[in-house]
Structure 1
Amino acid sequence: MTTRRDFLRKAGVAGAAVGTGALAAPYVKAQSPIRWRLQTYAGPALAEHVIKPAVDSFNKIAEGQMEIELYFADQLVPTGELFRAMQQGTIDAVQSDDDSMASPTDVRVFGGYFPFALRYSLDVPVLFNQYGLGEIWDQQYADVGVKWISAGAWDPCHFATKEPIRSLADLNGKRVFTFPTAGRFLSRFGVVPVTLPWEDIEVAVQTGELDGIAWSGITEDYTVGWADVTDYFLTNNISGAWIGHFFANMDRWNELPDNLKELLRVTFDSSHYYRQWWYWGGEAELRVRGEKMELTSIPDEEWAKVEEEAKAFWDEIAGDNATRQKVVQIIKDYNDVMRKAGRPYRYA
């Protein structure tokens, strides 16, 4: 029979063993933190809004278990080399659109501003979370050794120019800094797309190398300084929101414990949410109260030609590629639902 003394002695040994195991399991602050280098497409002024709050929040909550070092546009590698650098492990994570970072996937053309696919910023999370684009992107990037983490919306795409744009004819011959796929579409109307490093854009407008910019909405024009070198803002846009993503090197992602993976997802989602209200409010506020650029518009009946041309462009992009065909069909189905739903989803 077990005596009281034996019971206490054995219980004490067992308790000590459990205590030792419990103390060994959690992360201890004295350990070296996991360090990631994340490069964004954005320059310093814009990054203050589109990424830095999320990184600061992550680092604070991680409490030394992991730390993200943030780098701005072209700081470690040129934006066009972001994908390859992440895939090879030169950098650990990226915030960008597919198009700008030269993604080798079938979905590259849909990143950034895909012409007239979106009317509002909320269209982006709905398409990715309810209409299946998230699953497509996840598989596309897994196939090339990269972890797609999440997608979110940025601002709409408008022209900021030195000369006023009041008709489609005014676009002809204009040298414009824009995204690759958007430029391919706009060239149908005489626009000459120009590719330059992000930090060179302001000077290029001042020297006359560029006639304008179709890279953002009015909030970014003011934030990054482009409103100081352009005189006019065209209220017609070719997309209601930019589609951008967070990505990570697959090996580095797989090395993370589950709690840090979840923390990355949550803080990156907070970044998506921040942009929803920051851009939505900023676009309206600066159109009404901004004093740096004069607003111009192309008449609706003339702009309808551009919107109609986008449908032909979608089919051209889809081509005979099964993945792109699937994405284009989802975009068509989604917009059909939005039109049938009527106000406030679609007005026309």
Structure 2
Amino acid sequence: MSNRRDFLKKAGIVGAGTAVIGAPAVVTAKQTIKWRLQTYAGPALAEHVIKPAIDAFNKAANGEMVIELYYADQLVPTGELFRAMQKGTIDAVQSDDDSIAAPVDVSVFGGYFPFATRYSLDIPVLFEEYGLKEIWEEAYGEVKGVTWLSAGAWDPCHFATVDPITKLSDLKGKRVFTFPTAGRFLSRFGVIPVTLPWEDVEVAVQTGELDGIAWSGITEDYTVGWADVTNYFLTNNISGAWAGSFFANTERWEALPDHLKTLFRLCMDSSHYYRQHWYWGGEAKLRTQGTKMKLTTIPDDEWRKVELEAYKFWDEIAETSPRAKRVINIFKEYASVMEKAGKPYRYS
């Protein structure tokens, strides 16, 4: 055994290009890394917003790592996702900061922050070109146990309702499923925000518990079945794109070898890209070719009141923390640039 050990040591330092005939094969067994990732989305929606990227990751990882994908509320309620990830109950999350109750002062900007965006491309530009990425990294760097990884755009925020909405007063008293911050803003117009498990929304509309949904654009309404239980789609929106992110338990993320981190980042980017064309094309196609929902519109001059109220809301949020104010200042700067640039960046 002593001679064998000496032989193996010498074999390990043989110069490059030198073959050792008869050297025994030394195989190091590697245990597959396994992660559990939960998304905010139900199964039908997840087929588009995340499953293709996770399937691609698992294939490309070639047995070194496997990510098990779980859907909305499947392991833990969406509102508890941050804490569950922090504790290591789950390893990663795809959601918006707002819905998972992230304890950071930028969480209010996750999901649908009113009128911060007009188009889906606004979100990657804001993060990559205007400094939001660095602000998010800074904010989550102050919280132990969770690492923010990447943000991307989803669909715009429209109302899908049982009864038609043609003027602002029609919103009063409507019980609507929506995101926390969006609901907080819409309550100024008489909307009653309702929080439910995602999978219960369709039945809640059918039973009359909900009057409508302000959680998505028309693509999701058709994809997840909400177009089957609502009759009208309001073409006005309070946000041009939902801002969602990928997060991971810090310890599990830092334990990954660099090549798997790189692979995961590439797959996040592929997820972001897929949604850009799927939503953009779907919103137009279903408005013009969809048969399940009638389109309604609140006149521009009346909807302008909602936009102006949103800017007051911005200023209120800016007072909540210095970092929130930095984000609001970026939104204002970006809006000014887009307005000055004119068509096709902004039409009004």
Task: Tell me if the contact between 1:100 and 1:180 (Cα under 8 Å) persists in the aligned partners.
Answer: yes
Q: Which amino acid aligns with 2:309?
A: E
d(CA) in 1 for partners of 2:108, 2:262: 29
- Matching residue of 1:52: 51
- Matching residue of 2:316: 316
- Matching residue of 1:115: 114
Residues 138-177 of structure 1, C-alpha deviations (whole Å, 9 max, x = no match) = 1211211211110000000000000000000100110000
Shift of residue 27 of structure 1? 9.8
d(CA) in 2 for partners of 1:116, 1:301: 16
Shift of residue 345 of structure 1? 0.4
Matches within 5 A, 1:229-240: 229-240=229-240
Shift of residue 83 of structure 1? 0.3
- Matching residue of 2:4: none
d(CA) in 2 for partners of 1:320, 1:191: 24
Matches within 5 A, 1:61-140: 61-140=60-139
Residues 245-276 of structure 1, C-alpha deviations (whole Å, 9 max, x = no match) = 00000011110111011111000110000000
Q: Secondary structure at the match of 2:311?
A: helix
Question: How many residues of Structure 1 are paired with residues of Structure 2 in the alignment?
Answer: 335
**Worse-superposed segment, 30-39 or 188-197:** 30-39
Q: Which amino acid aligns with 2:87?
A: Q
d(CA) in 2 for partners of 1:27, 1:220: 49
d(CA) in 2 for partners of 1:83, 1:327: 22
Task: Tell me if the contact between 1:27 and 1:65 (Cα under 8 Å) persists in the aligned partners.
Answer: no
Residues 69-106 of structure 1, C-alpha deviations (whole Å, 9 max, x = no match) = 00000000000000000011110000000010011000
d(CA) in 2 for partners of 1:168, 1:244: 28
Q: 4+ residue runs of structure 1 moved beyond 3 angstroms? A: 10-13, 15-20
Matches within 5 A, 1:1-348: 14-15=14-15, 31-145=30-144, 146-348=146-348
Cα separation, partners in 2 of 1:262 and 1:305, compared to 1, 3 Å: same
- Matching residue of 1:7: none
Q: Which amino acid aligns with 1:344?
A: P
Residues 257-300 of structure 1, C-alpha deviations (whole Å, 9 max, x = no match) = 11011111000110000000000000000000000000000000
Cα separation, partners in 2 of 1:19 and 1:338, compared to 1, 3 Å: farther
Q: Secondary structure at the match of 2:14?
A: helix
Query: Structure 1: where are the runs of 5+ without partners?
Result: 1-9
d(CA) in 1 for partners of 2:175, 2:13: 78
Residues 82-141 of structure 1, C-alpha deviations (whole Å, 9 max, x = no match) = 000001111000000001001100001000000000000000000000000001111211
Cα separation, partners in 2 of 1:33 and 1:313, compared to 1, 3 Å: same
Task: Tell me if the contact between 1:158 and 1:215 (Cα under 8 Å) persists in the aligned partners.
Answer: yes
Normalised TM-score (structure 2): 0.93
Cα separation, partners in 2 of 1:134 and 1:18, compared to 1, 3 Å: farther
Q: Which amino acid aligns with 2:41?
A: A
d(CA) in 2 for partners of 1:191, 1:107: 24
Task: Tell me if the contact between 1:232 and 1:296 (Cα under 8 Å) persists in the aligned partners.
Answer: yes
Cα separation, partners in 2 of 1:19 and 1:309, compared to 1, 3 Å: farther
Q: Which amino acid aligns with 1:263?
A: L
Normalised TM-score (structure 1): 0.93
RMSD between superposed Cα atoms in Å: 2.1
Q: Which amino acid aligns with 1:55?
A: I
d(CA) in 2 for partners of 1:249, 1:320: 27
Query: Structure 2: where are the runs of 5+ without partners?
Result: 1-9
Task: Tell me if the contact between 1:122 and 1:153 (Cα under 8 Å) persists in the aligned partners.
Answer: yes
Shift of residue 31 of structure 1? 2.4
d(CA) in 1 for partners of 2:42, 2:174: 25
Cα separation, partners in 2 of 1:12 and 1:212, compared to 1, 3 Å: closer
Residues 11-37 of structure 1, C-alpha deviations (whole Å, 9 max, x = no match) = 9972489879xx9xx997x52210010
Q: Secondary structure at the match of 2:330?
A: helix
Q: Secondary structure at the match of 2:282?
A: helix
d(CA) in 2 for partners of 1:182, 1:74: 20
d(CA) in 1 for partners of 2:46, 2:125: 25
d(CA) in 1 for partners of 2:334, 2:187: 26
Task: Tell me if the contact between 1:99 and 1:108 (Cα under 8 Å) persists in the aligned partners.
Answer: yes
d(CA) in 2 for partners of 1:260, 1:136: 25
Q: Which amino acid aligns with 1:219?
A: T
Q: Secondary structure at the match of 2:135?
A: helix
